[in-house]
Amino acid sequence: MAKIYDVFIPDLGADKDVDLIDVMIKVGDIVDVEDGLITLETEKASMDVPTPYKGKIVEILVKVGDKVNSGELIAKIEATDEVESNSNQADETAATASKIEELKEEVVAVSTPPQFVKEQSIQSVVEEVRVPDLGAEKDVDLIDVMIHVGDIIVKDYSIITLETEKASMDVPAPFGGEVIEIFVEKGQKINSGDLIAKVIKTVVIEDKVPTPTFAASSTPTTVEKSSNAKPTLQEVAARSADIEEESKVLSKKATKVYASPSVRKIAREFGVDLGFVKGSAKKGRILVEDIKAYVKEQLNKPASATGVGFGFNLPESKEIDFSQFGKINRVELSRVQKVSGPFLHKNYLSAPHVTQFDEADITELEEFRKEQNEKAKDFKLSPLVFIIKAVEKALKIYPKFNSSLSSDGQELIMKEYFNIGVAVDTPNGLLVPVIKEVDKKGFKEIAIELAQLSQKAREGKLTSSDMSGGCFTISSLGGIGGTYFTPIINSPEVAILGVSKSSIKPIFNGKKFKPRLMLPLSLSYDHKVIDGADGARFTTTLSQILSDLRLLSL
């Protein structure tokens, strides 16, 4: 005779009103032991609730969007006589393999097992953690030990760091549990197979629904503990949840995938967006093997047109204790520096920079500028005003410089508007306000707007609109000094002009040397879009315009 079993929400610890984000079953489904029934999500982690019974779903009492708590009824399962008579044997044999794999993959599943009865006990198994196969490497340096006796660790938690002549690598824990003994220390030489530590793995044993214990490779030390003994399930669950919180992939796609906290942690370490990974397990669940396959696939792909990919994942810088050499003082970076630093780094790596140097004779321009400033009352013309107009003219002649590369690298997006960004040095860092529609403005309008934007930048009052929509950027160091430099392109733009301090130089006019005021120009451009010949033509044309402002009217 078939028997109906009730399946309840397991003990959720201190969590209340937990979100139910998925129901993976429907009435009539045939489920096996450890098949997922529902998925719960707290602020720190998500987890699947498995079934301890094999049978047919006859009733479902929850739905997506419900707020659930410990002990609430999930579903009713109709088990056959065969299942009832062989339940213990199934738990200890066939279910053992799947249980071990699940426990190895997701410590949260161990940490919060289904508790369908009030009384339970915890059985622990002591297992060894050894150094993995290091190939041909011998006597490898152990440079860091990241665990201590008494620590509660989860699978894939880094426990030691090794360093060879070629690279450094973290050794992850092959399973979760409590560290009871450590056999290595920082600074020693180790080899493949050396013993690192001993760890107690913890499993829940239910009175009515036995949970399979681990089968150790050697004769394990087995101890019985009460449910409040150390390490507690709540401690393990909390540690798993912390790692999940730290390692979530910040993507809307990733929040909708099914993956354990340990898998999400590995994805985070590889820089993989789980939204792009296809899960091979039941219900599309993502396994570690799926992440490895995805990474391998990406590495085998040709470099993207933008040049950004796994190839630029540079090794982290090692922490250096500079105080050993003398007195030091730590100063926190400004908010602007914290934001702009990674952005500049990305821009430099994603675009193959070429910088073209040239000089412009601005002797007549400077004379004209001084004459106009003597007449002007409510504005002041700086050399930068004329450079902005000259750049706008050059962009019309060479439209490639007023473009952006499409995200797939297959097209150029040609812009028919002319917005010029100007880098401004502020106490908090470099900011780039944008002067819009330069082609529709004269010298006076540009001078007034440039002064206003520069003042707003120094006062920290620029809006996002003030700094967006640029086509080309000018970085002027003329008021400070120097000759030439290599400015970094302000992506998604494809070029940037660096302007240095002008100086008097003897220039031969074919008959004799005459003193001329020369302005150094440094043009950096994205070689994926612009050839060297075009770069030289641009700077030559720009220099000609600055040397003879009458060319602006042509």
527 is catalytic: yes
* Helix 443-458 vs helix 383-397: crossing angle, to nearest 10: 110
Catalytic annotation present for 148: no
* Catalytic residue (one of 471, 526, 534, 548): 471
Contacts of 240 (CB under 8 A, 6+ apart): 45, 107, 108, 111, 154, 176, 261, 262
Structure tokens, 276: 């792009």
What is the 3-state composition of the chain as percent helix, strand, coil, each rounded to the nearest 5?
30, 25, 40
Q: Give CA 453 to chain center in angstroms.
A: 33
Residues 127, 91, 58, 281, Cα dihedral to 10°:
50
> Among residues 552, 545, 389, 547, which one has the least CA distance to residue 472?
389
Cα distances (Å, whole numbers) of residue 200 to 127, 168, 237, 260: 6, 28, 15, 21
- Tokens matching residue 88: 């213990």
CA angle, 67 then 73 then 76, to 5°: 135
- Report the candidate in 529, 524, 539 with the shortest Cα–Cα distance to residue 475: 524
Which residue matches tokens 């910088």? 355
Distance, CA of 479 to CA of 234 (rounded, Å): 63
Q: Reply yes or no on whether 531 is catalytic.
A: yes
Give me the catalytic one of 17, 81, 207, 531.
531
Catalytic residue among 170, 273, 527, 534: 527
Look up residue 369 and give its two tokens: 């500028």
Q: How far apart are CA 499 and CA 423, in angstroms?
A: 11
Residues known to be catalytic: 471, 527, 531
